[in-house]
Amino acid sequence: MKSIKPLSRTSVPLPAQTASKDELIGLVNESAKSTRTLSLTVLFNLSAASARRDQIENYRETKGFILIRTPSSIRIIGQAFNINVFDMVSDGKETSIFVPSKNKFYHFLNSQKLEQAKISVGNLRPQHVLNALAVEAIPQDSPDQVLIIEQDQEGRHSYYILDVLKKNLKHSLFLERKIWIDRFDMNIVRQKFFDPDGKLDSDVSYSKFKEVGGVPYPTEIEFRRPIEDYSLQIKVNKVKMNEVLTDDKFVLNRPQDAEFVDLSKDTKASTPSQPVF
C-alpha cells in the first residue's frame, strides 16, 4: 500500500490573487504615481567583475543617501565615516559627479557610453539607480505599444509577468521591459529592461517590503547591469515618500579647486544612435 506524505508548509503554494491586464497596468501605474519623490538612507554594496580593484574597494559597503523626484531628477551621495566619497546628480539629460578623494568634478551626457576608466566610480550611473528605484508608468492606449501577460511559478510563489513591447523606428516590435508581480501580495518584485537589440540592460529585484504611508516599498533592491559589468545592492534603512524636494536639492556645484573633467565633448565616447538611458 502506497503511503501519502503530507506536504510541509514550506512547500505548499501560497494563495494567488487574480487580476486582469487592465488591473495589472493600473497597479504598476499606481505604484509610479504613489512615489513622486523619495528620500532614502541606504547602504550600497557595489561589485563588478572587471572593474579596477581600487574602484571596488572604495565603494563596497558604502553608506549613503538618495533623493529622487520623478520623472528624471536624482541625487546620490556615498559616505565613509560620515565623509562624502562621491556625490552624483542627474536631470535625465546630463550628469555631474564629484569625487572628493580625487578632487575631480565630472560632467557628461546621459546619451554617452563611457569607458569605466574615464571616471573613478567606474560604470555606476545615477540614471541606472533612478530606473531601478522609481517604477515607471506604462502608457495606456499607446499605438506604438503592445502588452502581453505571462504567468509563472517558482517555489511557493506564482507570478504575473507583464511584457511591454514597443515599436522601433522600423515599426518592428521589441521587448522593452518585463515586470514581475507576485500574486500573493501583488507587489512588483522584479523588472528587466532591454535595449532595441534585445540585450539585457538592467535586471532589478525587490524584496522585504514595508508600508510607508500606506504604500508598500522594498527595503532591499538588487540590480545588475550586464553590459557595464557591475551589480549594486541597495539596503534601505529609512524611507521618506512624497515630501517636497526643491530644485536646489538637485544642484551639484563644482568646488573652485576641483579639476573639471568635461566628458560631454568626448565624441569617441558618444553613441549617436538611441540614448542609453
| pLDDT at residue 265, rounded to an integer | 80
Judge whether 94 lies within some domain: yes
Cα within 13 Å of Cα(136), Cβ side? 20
Judge whether 3 lies within some domain: no
Residues 6+ positions from 115 with CB-CB distance below 8 Å:
269
Distance CA 217, CA 241 (A): 10
Distance CA 196, CA 167 (A): 9
Residue 276 is which amino acid? Answer: V
Expressed as residue numbers, the domain containing 203 is 21-266
| pLDDT at residue 61, rounded to an integer | 79
Is the pLDDT reported for residue 1 higher than 60?
Answer: no
Residue range 158-183: mean pLDDT, rounded: 92
Judge whether 274 lies within some domain: no
| pLDDT at residue 51, rounded to an integer | 46
Residue 214: CATH number of its domain:
2.50.20.10
**What are 92-131's pLDDT values in tens digits?**
999 999 999 999 999 999 888 776 556 767 788 899 999 9
Judge whether 29 lies within some domain: yes
**Number of domains composing the chain:** 1
C-alpha cell at 134: 522609481
Judge whether 122 lies within some domain: yes
Positive or negative, the Cα torsion across 159, 230, 66, 71?
negative
**What are 6-65's pLDDT values in tens digits?**
555 567 889 999 999 999 999 999 999 999 999 999 999 988 655 444 454 445 678 999
Whether the bond into 71 is cis, omega within 30 of 0:
yes
Share above pLDDT 90 across residues of the chain, in percent, rounded to a whole number:
67
Is the pLDDT reported for residue 165 higher than 70?
Answer: yes
State residue 264 phi and psi, 5-degree precision: -65, -20
| pLDDT at residue 275, rounded to an integer | 28
Judge whether 165 lies within some domain: yes
Beta bridge partners of 76: 66, 88
- Using DSSP's 3-state secondary structure scheme, residue 53 falls into helix
| pLDDT at residue 120, rounded to an integer | 65
Q: In 10 A of CB 169, how many CB atoms?
A: 8
**Closest to 73 in 3D by CA, of 251, 221, 194, 235:** 251
Distance CA 136, CA 116 (A): 27
Judge whether 195 lies within some domain: yes
The DSSP output letter for 119 is S
Contact 102, 118 (CB under 8 A): no
Q: In 10 A of CB 126, how many CB atoms?
A: 23
Contact 32, 70 (CB under 8 A): yes
**What are 217-253's pLDDT values in tens digits?**
999 999 999 988 888 999 999 999 999 999 999 999 9
pTM of the predicted structure, to 2 decimals? 0.86
Most confident of 173-177, 179-183, 227-231: 179-183
Is the pLDDT reported for residue 196 higher than 90?
Answer: no
Share above pLDDT 70 across residues of the chain, in percent, rounded to a whole number:
86
Judge whether 277 lies within some domain: no
- Using DSSP's 3-state secondary structure scheme, residue 170 falls into coil
Of 63-67, 75-79, 93-97, 137-141, minimum mean pLDDT range: 137-141
